[in-house]
Structure 1
Amino acid sequence: MTNPVFHFEIPVTDLDRAIAFYEDVFSYQLTRADVDGYDMAFFPRAGDAPGASGALAKGDVYRPSQDGPVIYFDVPDIDAVLARATARGSKVLYPKKDIGEVGFVAEIEDSEGNRIALSQVKP
């Protein structure tokens, strides 16, 4: 069985601000593009590797919110990501929690007001 999630889009109101937030907090390099008239910035994707692709998306149909689906970002060091996020003014919505053998989770508010979750596997 393959991962059923293929792609996600995170709504933003200020794409430049959101790109700066995600690149700084997660250490990704995003690629900006116009898709069907919408301004987007794509997260890196490793070809045929498992997992979904995703983008930040700005447009009239995209409205940032803490309601609705929660996207989990796999991170190597949840404490470092939380520190970078709060240094950029992010609120911690759900503090780091040990969830047993699986690892750790936490939730933050991104620069646009979206609820974003973090997940770290235990070493």
Structure 2
Amino acid sequence: MKVTIVGALIQLLCSCGDNSKATISESKIEIMMKKSNPVVYFEIPVNDIDRAIDFYTKVFNFDFEKETIDNNEMALFPFSDENSGISGALAKGEIYKPTKDGVVVYFKVENIEETLRLANSRGGKTLYPKTDNGIGIVAEFEDTEGNRIALYQSKN
């Protein structure tokens, strides 16, 4: 018998708690999975949270909310339920190590050339120049902390 991810989710959800009557049909879970995007949050590792906040504020004009979560310094990116997309945080702590070799986060921008110019003028470094990839326009830069960050601009 082949176990599917959806089947495993049903088993997990139905086995949780004391309610033996709790059931979720496989088709309902499939519908829920299709209606939501799989990635919901990201964290960008930083060594100097204030320097990183300054960089991202000046490059993207973001406002951050600083928090301490599980003894880690966090600067939360803006988030609004009304807008599409996800949000995340700049994260400083023992487990956070900036790198150009890991996951790449893409930020949607209106003007990719201007954003690259701002990143470079604030201590960043272009890693991948503005390129039309057929779907949109992309570029990558290294932030002040040593992370590879990507930009996306729609063609419209």
Q: What is the TM-score with the length of structure 1 in the denominator?
A: 0.95
Structure possessing the higher radius of gyration over alpha carbons: 2
- Give the fraction of aligned pairs with identical amino acids, expressed as a percent: 53
Unmatched 5+ stretches in structure 2: 1-34
My pick for the range that moved more, 82-91 or 47-56, is 47-56
Matching of residues 93-104 of structure 1 within 5 Å: 93-100=127-134, 102-104=135-137
Task: Measure, in 1, the Cα distance between the counterparts of 2:102 and 2:141.
Answer: 15
Select 1:19's aligned residue among 53, 57, 61. Answer: 53
Deviation per CA, 1:85-114, whole angstroms, max 9, x where unpaired? Answer: 0111211000000122x2200000001000
- Which residue does the alignment assign to 1:122? 155
Identify the structure with bigger relative contact order (alpha carbons < 8 Å, sequence gap 6+): 1
**Secondary structure of the structure 2 residue equivalent to 1:24:** helix
Deviation per CA, 1:57-77, whole angstroms, max 9, x where unpaired? Answer: 000000000011100001111
Deviation above 4 Å: which 4+ runs of structure 1? none
Whether 1:69 and 2:103 are equivalent positions in the alignment is yes
- Which residue does the alignment assign to 1:83? 117
- Which residue does the alignment assign to 1:42? 76
What letter matches 1:108 in structure 2? Answer: F
- Which residue does the alignment assign to 1:110? 143
What letter matches 2:140 in structure 1? Answer: E
Per-residue deviation at 1:30? 1.1
- Which residue does the alignment assign to 2:44? 10
Task: Measure, in 2, the Cα distance between the counterparts of 1:28 and 1:99.
Answer: 27
Per-residue deviation at 1:48? 4.6
Bigger share in helix: 2
- Which residue does the alignment assign to 1:58? 92
Task: Measure, in 2, the Cα distance between the counterparts of 1:2 and 1:50.
Answer: 11
What letter matches 1:119 in structure 2? Answer: Y
Q: CA RMSD in A?
A: 1.0
Unmatched 5+ stretches in structure 1: none
Per-residue deviation at 1:49? 3.2
